[in-house]
């Protein structure tokens, strides 16, 4: 039952992706509302959430739907809990840079630990629509093609993705880093090439493909960083770890961070294991 429901959730997200992509054209304006994390919302944020919510809540085997755009969890029956960031990196929409969708499927009521994830995936709206999916010990990448008939084709693009030798780094929040994180960044910047695009999906995706480390760390003005644990931190940490890498909140795997609040934030670092170990050592000093 669980696997069948996970499959349907994946299909629902894949089917919705081309609609979200083509619908961005007329929904790039900010509206007068904020999400539960006090961030300004675009018309596209609300709209993408409604599309995904409609498709996911009617799946047999889905018990809860939660979104970065909604304050409360929606109860929709018995079964898995689905946490969605409908449009990650949405401040990239007005400038036409990368955005995506992040989905975490938990086998426990929300809020709960990242150790309860049974599947996680993210959609990248880039030159192509791709989906990276982690489950049962494997990370695979798919390409989704929307058809004129409103149907889709899904192609398996890469099987068993593993983080290669490190090449890149990308760190958010640079005007407020702590002293220890600045020291770490100084060393890393001498060894690796910087790439930062301002959307977790895009920035993490290039680390998955080229190797390295991505972080939005604890900052002087935001101790817990920027990312929401249940919607962003956990699913990306789960994917990083399943691809042979590691994640940390600075001390331990993000998947071991206790979830107390639906919209709580977490300092996020993920990438090749040796770099995550070095970072944890540097932050201890």
Which residues are near ligand FDP by CB under 6 A? Answer: 39, 88-92, 172-173, 198-200, 203, 216, 226-227, 232
Question: Which of 130, 123, 254 is CA-nearest to residue 201?
Answer: 123
Shortest Å distance, C-beta 172 to ligand FDP: 4
Shortest Å distance, C-beta 230 to ligand FDP: 13
Shortest Å distance, C-beta 213 to ligand FDP: 14
Paired with 104 in beta bridges are 83, 120
* Residue 63 or 170 having the CB closest to ligand FDP: 170
- The string over 166-199, giving b where at least 16 C-beta atoms fall within 10 Å of a residue's C-beta and e elsewhere, is bbbbbbbbeeebbebbeebbeebeeebeebbbeb
Task: Report the sign of the C-alpha dihedral through residues 51, 157, 132, 78, in that order.
Answer: positive
Shortest Å distance, C-beta 195 to ligand FDP: 12
Q: Report DSSP state, residue 255.
A: G
* Residue 63 or 68 having the CB closest to ligand FDP: 68
Shortest Å distance, C-beta 169 to ligand FDP: 14
Q: Which tokens hold the place of 53?
A: 């919510």
What residue is closest to ligand FDP based on CB? Answer: 91
Alpha helices in 38-194 (DSSP H): 43-57, 179-191
* Residue 63 or 100 having the CB closest to ligand FDP: 100
* Residue 5 or 130 having the CB closest to ligand FDP: 130
* Residue 87 or 134 having the CB closest to ligand FDP: 87
Count CB-CB contacts under 10 A for residue 22.
Answer: 10
């Amino acid at each position: 039952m669980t696997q069948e429901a996970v499959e349907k959730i994946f299909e629902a997200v894949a089917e919705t992706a081309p609609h979200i992509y083509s619908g961005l054209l007329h929904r790039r304006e900010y509206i007068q509302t904020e999400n539960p994390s006090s961030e300004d919302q675009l018309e596209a944020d609300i709209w993408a959430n409604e599309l995904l919510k409609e498709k996911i809540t009617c799946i047999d085997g889905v018990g809860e739907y939660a979104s970065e755009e909604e304050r409360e969890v929606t109860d929709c029956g018995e079964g898995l809990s689905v946490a969605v960031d409908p449009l990650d990196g949405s401040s990239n929409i007005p400038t036409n840079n990368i955005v995506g969708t992040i989905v975490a499927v938990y086998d426990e009521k929300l809020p709960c630990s990242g150790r309860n994830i049974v599947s996680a995936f993210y959609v990248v709206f880039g030159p192509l629509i791709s989906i990276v999916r982690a489950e049962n010990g494997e990370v695979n990448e798919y390409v989704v093609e929307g058809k004129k008939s409103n149907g889709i084709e899904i192609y398996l693009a890469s099987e068993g993705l593993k983080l290669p030798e490190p090449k890149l780094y990308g760190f958010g929040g640079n005007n407020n880093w702590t002293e220890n994180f600045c020291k770490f960044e100084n060393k890393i910047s001498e060894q690796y090439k910087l790439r930062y695009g301002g959307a977790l999906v895009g920035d993490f995706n290039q680390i998955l493909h080229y190797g390295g480390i991505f972080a939005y760390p604890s900052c002087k003005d935001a101790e817990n960083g920027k990312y929401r644990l249940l919607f962003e931190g956990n699913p990306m940490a789960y994917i990083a770890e399943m691809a042979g890498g590691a994640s940390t909140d600075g001390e331990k795997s993000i998947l071991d961070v206790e979830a107390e609040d639906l919209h709580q934030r977490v300092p996020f670092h993920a990438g090749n294991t040796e770099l995550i170990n070095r970072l944890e050592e540097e932050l201890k000093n």
